[in-house]
DNA sequence: GCGGACCGTTCCGCTCAGTGGAACGCATTC
DNA sequence: GAATGCGTTCCACTGAGCGGAACGGTCCGC
């Protein structure tokens, strides 16, 4: 595979435009034309045309009045992003419960869903002092987080297999990195109805997570309480998280989600 | 203007794709093919092709396994939306301050920026009991909200004029609806350094707002405390909001935003 | 001051990606 | 069983998109 070529050679205009938009990420929020051309592997003039049109459509923005220019994702994106059903419907139902849980535990509360073999954080409460490196919209391998493990534990076997096939990258020395270990862990999670994550995703950070089910009784999300290892006591937090997750599941069932 | 035609006839593929994506809104989170064709004014087969490709690019999603199908905005959108600089950089800096303010006042905290002549909510804390109809990513005319007025008060005159030219729609009987009234209000806001909103955006809801400035000393955002009218006391809340806004401005200045 | 590197922008003839009317199969509804 | 509305597929036509090349600007180090 060439360095300039992505895995599939981008052909149609739409796929090229998408590639341009995907060039922006956490560590590259602002990109110049040349950067974009490099990162997408597209000719400069092509990128220029696409990016310019995206600006005129208000999808991308350019601080024309300012000094240093460069393209960036526009407000348009943020507004649409907030309308995404998995986020909105879930968050609307979850926020009250999450706030109660935050109040009761004074720790950081996470709500996440499964997307493919990864966990995506949909809502986070309590950005507080210590900076835990979780971000709304952030993505982590499912096997390495509390919410991820609880999501896998109640997902079809095919999903778990997909995660194993995609690899079990080690985030910390305590990350579960073997298929057998994962299977055993998931069985244990199902038997107790919650998951523990003792520094498996980040050193010094632990969490307790519980499953949230939708109206169809299928797993929909994972809810967790996260904090620095010393302050996370599974014995007291476990019941709190499980209760909140049950409440949320009931709310979802009541509104048919 | 025809009913099927938007103001500018959409021509290029990109603008058509954008039109398809913009067909989704707060009250239409899920749309079928025919709906999309109707709302965009494009031929059915064209929409089908575009939407299908957007699905294969993971921009749109379709619950293939479920019963009722229809297109919806995908997680892809949510993830990108969270990366939008105006949202991310501001939120990162603001959340700690907002949480303190929330803790101190026990009311709902809003952070909003100006986009054109509208206010867009970038971050909201405290979704609590009473449902105030504000939504992250939501958009309201600037003259009719506390944060909006404070943003206008410190914006260039051209911005205020643009708002007046776009009209001053009445949201409640107390909304400021005349250019003169607005000018007077903005002058008053500048003199006291904060804005009051007494049921101007929603009946029964009031708020106190203060300006947040960036490293360039230009207005960047508005910060507000909002609640049911009875529980909002400007005398006590005013200093709290202004203090928080000052703190946030200083944080932004320190990190050069 | 000058050559070179790198940036964003513009031009323009070639061609294939995108177009959309029409026809299809399938549920619902009357 | 005719009518309506849905999503899907087909295919001959054509202009929207393509991108190499050339241009003008700024910022270096020599």
pLDDT digits (tens, 9 = 90+) for A179-221: 999 999 999 999 999 999 999 999 999 999 999 999 889 999 9
Fold of the domain built from segment(s) A83-254 = Beta-Lactamase (3.30.450)
**H or E segment to which residue A105 belongs:** helix A85-105
Average pLDDT, integer, range A84-109: 94
The whole-number average pLDDT for the span B227-253 is: 95
State the Cα–Cα distance between residues A53 and A33, nearest whole angstrom: 13
Predicted confidence at residue B229, as pLDDT, reads 92
Q: Could you give the CA distance from residue A112 to residue A90 in angstroms, rounded to a whole number?
A: 10
The conformation of residue A44, written as its DSSP 8-state character, comes to H
B44 touches strand D (CB under 7 A): yes
Nucleic strand C contact set for A 69-108 (CB, < 7 Å): 69-70
Question: Which two tokens mark A205?
Answer: 């950070």
pLDDT at B94 over 90: yes
DSSP B179-202: HHHHHHHHHHHHHHT-EEEESSSS
pLDDT of residue A68: 64
CA distance B72 to A57: 20
Residue B155: is its pLDDT beyond 80? yes
- Contact list in A for residue B16 (CB cut-off 8 A) is none
Q: Which residues of A touch B48 (CB under 8 A)?
A: none
At residue A128, the pLDDT reads: 64
- Say what the pLDDT of residue A11 is: 85
Whether the predicted pLDDT of B168 surpasses 80: yes
Give me the pLDDT at residue B132, please.
75
Question: Smallest Cβ distance to B80: which of A77, A88, A115?
Answer: A77
Residue A4 has pLDDT above 50, yes or no: no
Q: Which residues between 125 and 154 in chain A have a beta carbon less than 8 angstroms from any beta carbon of chain B?
A: 126-129, 135-139
Domain boundaries, given as residue ranges, for chain A: 13-80, 83-254
Q: What is the pLDDT of residue A63?
A: 81
pLDDT above 90 coverage of chain A, percent: 87
Residue B227 phi, psi dihedral angles, 5° rounding? -170, 180
- If pLDDT is split at 50, 70 and 90, which confidence band does B68 have? low
Taking only the tens place, the pLDDT of each residue in A25-61 is 999 999 999 999 999 999 999 999 999 999 999 999 9
DSSP assignment string, B82-148: TT-HHHHHHHHHHHHHHHHHHHHH-SEEEEEEEETTEEEEEEEE---SS--S--TT-EEEGGGSHHH
Q: State whether the beta carbon of B34 lies below 7 angstroms from any atom of strand D.
A: yes
Q: Which residues contact A179 (CB under 8 A, 6 or more apart)?
A: A164, A168
Question: B84-254, which class in CATH?
Answer: alpha beta
| Alpha-carbon distances of B47 from B6, B19, B54, rounded to whole Å | 15, 10, 10
The answer to whether residue A22 scores a pLDDT higher than 80 is: yes
Q: How far apart are CA A116 and CA B121, in angstroms?
A: 30
Share of chain B above pLDDT 70, in %: 93
What's the CATH class of domain B13-80? mainly alpha
Neighbour tally for A246: CB within 10 Å: 17
Structure confidence at residue A133 as a pLDDT band (50, 70, 90): confident
**Contact A208/A194 with Cβ under 8 angstroms?**
yes
Among the listed ranges B39-43, B80-84, B125-129, which one has the minimum average pLDDT value? B125-129
């Amino acid at each position: 595979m060439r360095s300039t070529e992505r895995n599939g050679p981008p052909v149609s205009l739409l796929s090229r435009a998408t590639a341009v938009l995907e060039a922006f990420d956490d560590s590259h929020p602002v990109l110049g034309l040349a950067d974009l051309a490099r990162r997408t592997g597209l000719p400069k003039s092509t990128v220029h045309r696409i990016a310019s049109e995206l600006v005129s459509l208000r999808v991308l923005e350019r601080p024309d009045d300012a000094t240093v220019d460069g393209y960036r994702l526009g407000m348009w994106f943020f507004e649409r992003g907030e309308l995404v059903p998995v986020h909105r419907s879930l968050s609307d139902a979850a926020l009250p419960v999450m706030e109660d849980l935050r109040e009761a535990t004074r720790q950081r509360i996470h709500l996440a869903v499964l997307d493919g073999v990864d966990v995506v954080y949909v809502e986070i409460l309590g950005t507080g002092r210590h900076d835990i490196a979780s971000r709304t919209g952030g993505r982590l391998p499912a096997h390495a987080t509390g919410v991820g493990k609880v999501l896998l534990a109640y997902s079809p076997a095919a999903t778990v297999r997909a995660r194993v096939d995609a690899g079990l990258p080690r985030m910390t020395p305590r990350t579960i990195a073997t298929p057998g270990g994962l299977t055993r862990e998931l069985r244990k999670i199902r038997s107790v109805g919650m998951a523990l994550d003792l520094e498996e995703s980040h050193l010094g950070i632990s969490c307790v997570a519980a499953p949230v089910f939708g109206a169809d009784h299928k797993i929909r999300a994972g809810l967790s309480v996260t904090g620095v290892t010393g302050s996370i006591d599974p014995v007291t937090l476990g019941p709190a998280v499980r209760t909140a997750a049950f409440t949320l599941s009931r709310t979802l069932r009541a509104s048919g989600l």
